[in-house]
Homo-oligomer: A and B are copies of this chain.
Amino acid sequence: MNALPDAAELARLDAADPLRAARDRFALPDGIIYLDGNSLGPPPRRALERLEEAAREEWGQGLIKSWNDAGWMELPLATGRKLAPLIGVDGDEVVCLDTVTILIFKLASALSRKKPEAAIAVERGDFPTDGYVLEGLAALTGCAFKYVEPGTSPAALDPEIGVLVRSAVHYKTAEIADIARWEREARETGLDIIWDLSHAAGLVDLKLKQDGARFAVGCGYKFLNGGPGAPAFVYCRSDEIAGIDHPVTGWLGHDTPFDFVDGYRPAEGIRRFITSSPSILAITSLNAALDAYDAMALSEVEAKARALGDIFLQAGAQLGLDTISPGIGARRGGHVCLRHEHGYAIAQALIARGIIGDFRAPDLMRFGFNPLYLSYREVGEAARQMIEVVETREYERPEFNVRKAVT
């Protein structure tokens, strides 16, 4: 078992951190160590500024003219172009809009209709919404829907399965999927994989095209810091776009929306994923939030997240807690989960101390580490306090054992 790094070591790590300049790009409250950026990223200062500018100037002064003059019409595509390098794809292969679930619905229905005899599937225990929406689609179209065992690679899958939705980083374990291997096997079996990047985008150094991925969706409000309920995004490899006929066909995805003609004809390119006017305020915030990545290498982001997670795993080991996450030094996503029967109360006790993580029933404490704004010193301090809360049984205080709706 490695020891927790001491203050001098933490200071040395911070001084050598190639990402340290990014911290000032965020507006974080004083006295808080925020370990829940994997649920909701904090506001980048630029997002707050642009949001107010978009509201007061573009909306308030420009009014309807801003659809042209402020670039609102192109904003979903422009934001996609900005996001594309973070996931390793080309700029015209991503568009920002809707929500992850709605985009899975669009992609899965478009892929499933091309092989109506095939089943659509998700891993058991993957983020529930991915299964719920396939279940909803299957009930509508009559295709089969299946849960498959976690980690079953395409070569080992029931050959009846034609479309698989799978998280690139698991929302509980933080395990990173082997996208290249999965896609290699999928090419052999004719499987279409929709990667859910919700816990990966902006944290893992994704190389989707290089790894052969053709379809993906992801979340704008976690590591990308786009704001609560920020628009999601969809990636479709350029050679696959023309084959996508999704059913939620709205006027802004039409080839000539301002002709106002009866009869749908999808736009060329990734624009065809658009259904209707996106929230300009919400997407402006996401667009500006992406500036936090300027001159920051994703490889460094992923490596530092692993180092920060290691500190918490070391603390967990010192307390004798199990983890369900890949262990110290192993490649993983931006969070770690530690198991404790009083995990809920420990999380609450830490929140009372200004250390915000979260909790997933029945007994998982989940701590997320976004290296753009977290220092080694802060994460070391949070780990030290978690040890203190557990060792002193501070979590037994009644106020930490009252359940709220969301944690």
Chain A residues proximal to chain B, CB less than 8 Å:
27-29, 32, 34, 36, 39-40, 42-43, 47-48, 51-52, 55-56, 58-61, 63-68, 72-73, 98-102, 105, 109, 113, 124-125, 127-129, 131-133, 135-137, 139-141, 147, 221, 227-231, 245-251, 254, 257-264, 275-283, 285, 351, 356, 358, 360-361, 404-407
Whether B60 lies near A132 (C-beta < 8 A) is: no
- One of B258, B356, B360 near A260 (C-beta < 8 A): B360
Name the B residues within 8 Å of A68 (CB-CB): 404-406
**A32 CA to B62 CA, complexed, in Å:** 10
Inter-chain CA distance A52–B60, complex, in Å, is: 14
Chain B residue contacts of A137, Cβ below 8 A: 247
Among candidates B125, B254, B404, residue contacting A262 with C-beta atoms closer than 8 Å: B125
Q: How far is the CA of A56 from the CA of B47 in the complex (A)?
A: 10
Are A276 and B136 touching (Cβ within 8 A)?
no
- Is B249 within 8 A of A135, CB to CB? yes
Ranked 9 nearest A-B pairs via Cβ: A101-B250, A136-B249, A228-B280, A279-B282, A99-B276, A129-B251, A136-B247, A140-B247, A229-B277
Q: Which residues of B contact A124 (CB under 8 A)?
A: 262
Query: Are A51 and B101 within 8 A (Cβ)?
Result: no
Please measure, in the bound complex, the distance between the C-alpha atom of A360 and the C-alpha atom of B285, giving whole angstroms: 31
- Check A250 against B281 for contact (C-beta < 8 Å): no
Contact of A140 with B109 in the complex, beta carbons under 8 Å: yes
Smallest CB separation, A97 vs chain B (Å): 9
Residues in B neighbouring A227, C-beta threshold 8 A: 55, 59, 279-281
Given the known interface contacts A60-B29, A68-B406, the answer about A250 and B51 at a Cβ–Cβ threshold of 8 Å is no
B64 touches A132 (CB 8 A): no
Contact of A245 (CB < 8 Å), options: B127, B139, B259: B139
B356 touches A64 (CB 8 A): yes
Q: Are A55 and B72 in contact (CB under 8 A)?
A: no
Query: Inside 8 A of A358's CB, which chain B residues have their CB?
Result: 64
Q: Report B-chain residues with C-beta under 8 Å of the C-beta of A258.
A: 361, 405-407
Besides A28-B60, A228-B280, 17 new A-B residue pairs in contact (Cβ under 8 A), listed by A number: A34-B63, A40-B59, A64-B358, A65-B356, A101-B249, A102-B102, A102-B248, A109-B140, A113-B140, A125-B262, A128-B260, A132-B264, A229-B276, A229-B277, A229-B280, A229-B283, A231-B279
Residue of B nearest to A283 (CB): B229
Given A48-B55, A68-B404, A141-B141, A29 contacting B129 (CB threshold 8 A): no
| Distance in angstroms between the alpha carbons of A125 and B261 in the assembled complex | 8
Residue of B whose beta carbon sits closest to that of A100: B276
User: Beyond A227-B279, A281-B282, is A128–B55 a contact (Cβ under 8 Å)?
Assistant: no
User: How far does the Cβ of A381 sit from chain B's closest Cβ, in whole Å?
Assistant: 18
Closest to A359 in B: B258
List B contacts of A246 (CB < 8 A): 136
CA A277 to CA B405, docked complex, whole Å: 15
| Nearest CB of B to A80, in Å | 16
Q: Are A136 and B64 in contact (CB under 8 A)?
A: no
Are B132 and A251 in contact (CB-based, < 8 A)? yes
Q: Are B64 and A36 in contact (CB under 8 A)?
A: yes
